[in-house]
Amino acid sequence: MKPTLEIPVKRLHEQAKLPHRGSPQAAGWDLHAAQPARLKPGARELVGTGLAVALPLGYEMQIRPRSGLAIKHGISVLNSPGTIDADYRGEIKIILINHGSEDFVVEVGDRIAQAIVAKHEVARYEWVEELTDSERGAGGFGHTGIRGE
């Protein structure tokens, strides 16, 4: 599949690696650690990727956990999905958390998260006196039932 979007990437650390996909149809781009870290059970750590990007206007980069780290080690991205805005030019850093029962060591070059580049709309909010009706109405948490009940 031919890329439809080019994203300029600045290397901030010598150890930084370009994001890459695990397969040609993968939506997520693996992000690598540019620094080592050790996460004790229950701990969180900010891990740098050594990358800065210039996203086009109207796009964001969503930072998400890697499923393999989650199932094998209990490692996740704490603020998932994290958002990198189009006007941010600083280093992409990942907030990792260890939900596992053992220390987890991050080595330089390890794949620690994945990035999804997505379009978004710019919205305008305005005060109104009434909202249009919908079938759901104001039904909230659990309103639609459990198991289709």
- Give the β-pairing of 111-119 and 93-98: unpaired
**How does pLDDT run across 35-73, given as a tens digit for each residue?**
999 999 999 999 999 999 999 999 999 999 999 999 999
Please report the pLDDT score of residue 136 as a whole number. 80
103 and 39 Cβ atoms separated by less than 8 Å: yes
Alpha-carbon distance 91 to 83, whole Å? 13
Q: Is the pLDDT of residue 148 over 80?
A: no
pTM confidence score: 0.86
> What domains are there in the chain, each with its CATH number?
11-119 (2.70.40.10)
Residues whose CB is less than 8 angstroms from the CB of residue 89 and which lie 6 or more positions away in sequence, other chains included: 52, 54
- The residue to which tokens 């650690």 are assigned: 33
Q: Is the pLDDT of residue 3 over 70?
A: no
